[in-house]
Amino acid sequence: MPCVILSARHLQGFIPLWILFMRNKMFSCYRMKTNVVIRLVLLLTVCTYAVKTQTATPVLTPADLQAKITTNTVILKQPHCYFNVTCPACELWLVPALSSATSTFDADRTNINILSLSPYPSAFGPLFKNYFLTKVGLLSAFPCSASSDSLYFKVGENGNCTTINCNGILPTGSVDRFKYVLVNGSSIINETNWSDNITLYTPQNPESIYDGLSARSAAMIVITTILSVAAGLLLLLFFIMLCLFCCRKKDSKPITVKSSTPITVNSSTPITVNSPTPITVNSSTPITVESSEHIPHYDTHLINRKHPYDNHAYELERKK
Amino acid sequence: MASGGIATLMYLLIALNILAAAASLALFAVAIWVAVDANKLYAISAVSGKDDIFAGAWIAIFTGFAFFLTCLFGIYAALKRSRRLMLVYLFLMFIIFLFECASAITAATNRDYLVGNSNLVKKQMLQYYADDSSKGKQITDTWNRVMQEDKCCGADGPTDWLTFNSTYKAIYPGSYPWPSNCCEKLSNAEVKDPIGCNDGGSTLFRKGCFQYIESVLSRYTWAISWYGFAVLMLVFFMLLLAMVYYIQLD
């Protein structure tokens, strides 16, 4: 018989509609007899009822909180609608336990003094029970109608406290599981499932952060290379420029003008020839210097004579 | 070169010198702005010994002003057509060029050390926040101000305080997981919602402060290094021109 087995959660709250739907499906797929259908409906209703009281599981709060899990505290969703019983004096208690200690609690659960069997101050350690119980509140304070995602319960609120059932912090970095239990007087009458493993933060040493150079940015590489090249280029050009001018200054050889053809120098402005070394003008052809300005002309045909201005006509008379 | 050519060169050189003088005066002003550090993040770079962004700013103050004076001198030397003055000008400009190069390169390199990734800032915060030493007090004041101004917590987020041990956790073990400055505060400096902030609700600042710190330090660095680079490129071409002018002078 194709009976779709839905999980407990899907069944909650939708029983009338579900019954109608299944009935219609039955009629469309098969021509079933009515009494079989009625039996099916009754079975499923019983299943749904039983599911409600046993398969609630504590979860982390779905609210948007940054401190859901810290190094030693956990924030859980409040236990609204986890136990569908009417019990005015009942109280809701929470059992935080290391994930390795869940079996210890399950074994101790039926003990008469369960509430004080593992006091908080001596709860955690290698030889201890590694669970404790803390009171959450009266069952009547958590009705189904008030269920909300924004309501939460913080485990570890009392810090490192000293009373037996205080809401103390958990061991740093431990892996924990949680269970809500319904307590009447001093005995546990009902409980939820164990939650999933919740791993607390193990804080690392900040010395372990590597704070050396991560990578060189592209901008830094561009700036460094281009500026280095520019500075080097400038230095090079500077030296070349200096060398160029040191060499040109020492360049002063005697001016030598040689030519086999007549040299003609014409100028409308005065000709000035300056030289640190003596000027020598050699020519096999006559040198003619023409100028619009007056050039003093010196008589040079008797230049080899010692006494050029002596009159020889008077020499004979002197000897007489 | 014909005399007309030399005159053109001279006018060009004078115009470029005027431009370079104005640009280097602006560099001087920008470097003063960086050195003043309006965002007061100097402590973050000083405590780790990587404060050369600000050293680069100080060098740029001096080189900016020196460039300005030397460019004015260069205008005079170009007008005088004197070889000696042009040589002095070229020599001075080259020295200042080297110093400005140093400033630009230093600022860019140190930025990479500080804000390449959030590790250095995070480690510093975890080690020095709430510490009693002088370094600790500087870091605490800086972070308190940054967290309240930019509405942020931790380097990458509030989980930094959970993932790592810190001096803060060692000094205040039973207190909030994160400093109270991570929470919204009222105008009288009291935390608005102590329990909500302790549990990490909406009054806790969620984003990390590294983005803000990185953007401020990058802004300082780009002012010194990229703008210094731009001024140096202008000066480089101007010096090439000045060398040509020197050669053409008689």
Beta carbons within 8 Å of B40's beta carbon, 6+ residues apart:
B142, B145
| Cα–Cα distance, B239 to B91 (Å, whole number) | 10
Q: Which residues of A touch B119 (CB under 8 A)?
A: 209-211, 214
pLDDT digits (tens, 9 = 90+) for B213-228: 999 999 999 999 999 9
Q: How far is A205 from chain B (nearest CA, A)?
A: 6
The reported pLDDT for the residue numbered A7 is: 43
Helices (H), chain B: 3-36, 42-47, 52-80, 83-115, 119-128, 134-150, 159-163, 167-171, 194-198, 210-248
Q: For residue A132, which of A146, A113, A145, A119 has the smallest C-alpha distance? A: A119
Q: What is the pTM of this model?
A: 0.73
A60: three-class secondary structure by DSSP: strand
The reported pLDDT for the residue numbered A48 is: 47
The reply to whether residue B98 touches residue A205, judged by beta carbons under 8 angstroms, is no
The residues facing A97 across adjacent strands are A131, A177
- ipTM of this predicted complex? 0.90
**Distance of alpha carbon A8 from its chain centroid, rounded?**
44
pLDDT digits (tens, 9 = 90+) for B46-96: 998 888 999 999 999 999 999 999 999 999 999 999 999 999 999 999 999
Beta carbons within 8 Å of B215's beta carbon, 6+ residues apart:
none
Q: How far is B159 from chain A (nearest CA, A)?
A: 8
| Cα–Cα distance, A26 to A11 (Å, whole number) | 18
Beta-carbon count within 10 A of A97 CB: 27
A201: three-class secondary structure by DSSP: coil
Closest-approach residue (CA) in chain B for A202 = B163
The reported pLDDT for the residue numbered A215 is: 84
| Cα–Cα distance, A318 to A313 (Å, whole number) | 10
Asked whether residue A320 carries a pLDDT value surpassing 90, the answer given is no
A178 contacts A195 by C-beta, under 8 angstroms: yes
A273: three-class secondary structure by DSSP: coil
